Structure 1
Amino acid sequence: MQASKKHKFIFVGDVVCEKKPHFSEELQNLLRSAEIRSCNFEAPIAGFGKPIDKTGPLVSQNSEAPQWMQELGFNCFSLANNHINDYGKEALLKTMDQFPKDEILGVGNEKDAYSLNTKTIDGVSYGFLAYGENGYGALNGDREFGHAWVNAKRVNNDIQEFKKQVDILIVQIHAGVELLDVPIPEWKERYHELIDLGADVIIAHHPHVVQGIEEYKGKFIAYSLGNFYFDYPSNHPQWNTGGLLELIFEEKKLSAFKFRLIEKKGQSVELKDETNSNNFINPLSERLKGKDYEEYVNIKAVEDWENHHASYYAKPFNGLADYSLGKLLKHVKRSIFNREVNHNLIWHNLFIESNKWLVERAIRIKTFGKNRS
């Protein structure tokens, strides 16, 4: 009897290129060994469109970035993310045009953004989808062109129907609390729900740091692969450390996986050894199962409220969350020069799921204490 063929897929996290990446020989060889090599292409190419009115940074990348990533071996690109619409429809269309149409996921008009991308390898059918959380580019009723929204009403039914069409259904999701090394319970529950509906693999990114890996009902979830190559300034110690995920499929199911750390140094990207990688990812994965997991999230939610969100909620109305000298001076400046309500910031706080859920958690704790809902 002929042995079944194995198929190797590789996934990495967020990509923003100002300069051309240089991969180590080991990384190049690993990419060449896989049939599918996927990344999250985080922002449109520069030089097109106009900046949209939004809260937070506007990000673009070198106009040659799509060519660079294809030359380096990538052949599957998730574009469903919070920066892909930063310069509007024109820039997004120009970016999409830089890739083969059958290699991009999660963007366009509603029909295209929510459509299933299928690949058949040795008679095994694989389906690929990409979604992002709510945001200024999400297809949430505010626009007709952008990225697929993971909590759109159609998604649950889509997952069920798409699973009927393929042997393996792989879903990438751009969501989560930035710079938090665990997923918040609300995202865990949503990803579990998508597995229950038919997804076989969920691979997530957006927090810019690596989060843990979980097996749920025999299926696989990677909660965040962090940054792969992100040319954007940050002082965070893990900004240039990300995850590379090898998935091995055999007999129409996931038979093995391997997590490897990658490190970006300037323009160079190299793989860390397996021992280093396992020592990094295992504690993050164990924390998801630990009895202190939710308490850890609660602590981080309150910290984030006190360090960031309290000011965010005060700022739209030119209010104050604390009375430090610096905040008072900024308040005086805003009161004189900008007395308008910042509706964009209010929208950002109320409708982007990660922000909303984290704030709700912090307010419950500060109001009722950690032991009451």
Structure 2
Amino acid sequence: MKQKHSQNRWLLFLLTSLTLALVSCAKATPPTPVWLELPALDWVNLEGLLVDHPLPAGFERSLEPTKLRVSFSTRLENQPDDDGLANYPGLISGRWLAVALPYNHDSIGLTLPQALARAHLPLNQISSPLRAAPVDGLLPGETGYPLTELLVAQLSGSQDPALLDWLTKLTPRPTRPQLIGAVGDIVIRGEGEPSLARADGDPAALLGDVLPHLRSRDLLLGNLETTVSTGGEPNLIKRFRFRIHPDSLAALVAAGFDFFSSANNHTHDYGPVAFTDTLRHLAASGVAWAGAGHNLAEASQPAILPVEASRLAVFGFALFPTESRGYKPGDAAATDTTPGILIDPELLRRQIAAARADGLIPVVFSHAGHEYVNQPPAWLKTMYRSFIEAGAALVLGSHPHVLQGVESWQDGIIVYSMGNFLFIGCDEDPPAQKSAIYSLCFYEGQFRGYNVLPVKAGDAVTSLDPGRDLAEFVALNRLIGN
């Protein structure tokens, strides 16, 4: 019996010794030191990131250089596309730099050498009355924009899976600026709809080389200056009457449009039946719209469009002069009990203020002014500026059928007229065929700048117009005056 107890004591002693030895060995294995090379940056808190995302188990931060290191560095590059940003090796963060120019500057944009010779500001520090200048025709947020600063981490001395996984989770990748595209009047007449039918509804039949530019915008807004119906009766007080088939609306939506303003002087071209048909077809198409409704409450409500972490509240509005046969805004106005469009600027100002108070970013798409003149009248400037003063961030104008200038007012932007954009079968004179796609750069809750892409609104197709000199847009800006 004594011998058995003695053996047990020896076994217990051996097990205890082995356990202590294993614990001692475990304690004796120190964490692997990692040298973190951190640049001094005022736009990202790397030390804070490391506190929130400590190194994985088995590693510790070294106080002196080691073979195993993670090097953080910045580089100025052409902006990758969205897939490139999502898969950029070691990308930790990024920001967009830009040259700030006044809205009345003598050029719309800069070449890269011109931009590199000037001071740069972070995009989120540029706002009205200054704007981020396009560089080589590109705004911040567009693929290829050359003033994109990327913060990249590179692991050397090891490819340890735990460290690689830690790097990918260090922080979310940067969210690029958003591009809001806006165009003017859209009408399809004559051979336009047969052309679409022959192309099985492909919008390229009418938009050709312009189509990729429309689809590349994060949001696309336009003025639908027509009814959408197969019925109704001609409004005899109207000299020009526009109506498209619902299939044509589907083609426009396929072209990339996210929003249409439905407040203009052609909503009642085929009477109340076609007007309510238009509302029904817009709703069925899935596109957002504003400015028209079954009553005033509907017509005065904005469309809500998410962009970044913000929401745009886009209003439609019209206040056109009385036409040659006597047709006037009141003939199309919505009331508390009847369908129509929003024509009351005071009501619109109240709606703008309410949207701003709700944390929305108000945008007004307005159909007003005088036709075929490049200079906005004083009354129009006063009205559009009052929309900005009420809280709108952006006013987009249509109706004149020709281009007018762009200005900054207080902390907002006004595009007085975007002219015709798709005016198929309307036989417009050459000045009214000069058009553009306007792009607004939206970043961290504000519009930061704009660019123009010249297009020609031809009788059969809208196409790029590369021969146009952007100096003509500068001249239009100067026509605005005080």
Regarding TM over 0.5, the answer is: yes
Unaligned runs of 5+ in 1: 291-373
Per-residue Cα deviation, 1:39-86 (whole angstroms, up to 9, x for no partner): 111011353111234253222234432011012111211110000111
2:390 is aligned with 1:204: no
Partner Cα distance (2:206, 2:462) in 1: 6
Matches within 5 A, 1:41-80: 41-80=224-263
Partner Cα distance (2:302, 2:336) in 1: 23
Q: How far off its partner does 1:259 sit?
A: 1.2
Q: How far off its partner does 1:128 sit?
A: 0.7
Pick aligned residue for 1:132 from 318, 322, 327: 318
Matches within 5 A, 1:332-371: none
SS in 2 for 1:154: helix
SS in 2 for 1:23: helix
Unaligned runs of 5+ in 2: 1-43, 45-92, 94-173, 197-204, 321-328
Pick aligned residue for 2:341 from 147, 151, 170: 147
Partner Cα distance (2:245, 2:187) in 1: 8
2:408 is aligned with 1:215: yes
Q: Which residue in the other structure is 2:441 paired with?
A: 248
SS in 2 for 1:257: strand
SS in 2 for 1:132: strand
User: Which amino acid in structure 2 is aligned with residue 24 of structure 1?
Assistant: G
Partner Cα distance (2:415, 2:391) in 1: 16
Partner Cα distance (1:189, 1:167) in 2: 23
Partner Cα distance (2:469, 2:411) in 1: 23
SS in 2 for 1:280: helix
Q: How far off its partner does 1:101 sit?
A: 5.6
Pick aligned residue for 1:10 from 177, 181, 194: 181
Cα gap change, 1:263 to 1:66, in 2 (>3 Å):
same
Q: How far off its partner does 1:268 sit?
A: 2.4
Partner Cα distance (1:29, 1:116) in 2: 28
Q: Which residue in the other structure is 1:118 paired with?
A: 304
SS in 2 for 1:238: helix
Pick aligned residue for 2:475 from 280, 283, 292: 283
Partner Cα distance (2:359, 2:333) in 1: 25
Matches within 5 A, 1:23-38: 23-25=207-209, 27-38=210-221
Pick aligned residue for 1:106 from 276, 284, 291: 291
Q: Which residue in the other structure is 2:418 paired with?
A: 225
Q: How far off its partner does 1:218 sit?
A: 3.0
Given that 2:423 and 2:459 are in contact with CA atoms closer than 8 Å, whether structure 1 keeps it comes out as no
Partner Cα distance (2:305, 2:334) in 1: 28
Q: How far off its partner does 1:140 sit?
A: 6.0
Q: TM-score, normalised by structure 1?
A: 0.71
Cα gap change, 1:120 to 1:140, in 2 (>3 Å):
closer
Pairs aligned (count): 287
2:223 is aligned with 1:40: yes
Greater CA drift, 233-242 or 74-83? 233-242
Q: Which residue in the other structure is 1:87 paired with?
A: 270
Per-residue Cα deviation, 1:217-274 (whole angstroms, up to 9, x for no partner): 131100000101113434522222212100110111111210122113343222223x
SS in 2 for 1:178: coil
Structure with greater helix percent: 1
Cα gap change, 1:48 to 1:191, in 2 (>3 Å):
same
Cα gap change, 1:30 to 1:107, in 2 (>3 Å):
same
Given that 1:132 and 1:138 are in contact with CA atoms closer than 8 Å, whether structure 2 keeps it comes out as no
Q: How far off its partner does 1:12 sit?
A: 0.5
User: What's the C-alpha RMSD, in Å, of the aligned pairs?
Assistant: 2.2
Q: How far off its partner does 1:93 sit?
A: 1.9
Q: How far off its partner does 1:150 sit?
A: 4.2
Cα gap change, 1:137 to 1:62, in 2 (>3 Å):
farther
Q: TM-score, normalised by structure 2?
A: 0.56
Per-residue Cα deviation, 1:193-224 (whole angstroms, up to 9, x for no partner): 11001000000000111111111113110000
User: Which amino acid in structure 1 is aligned with residue 315 of structure 2?
Assistant: L
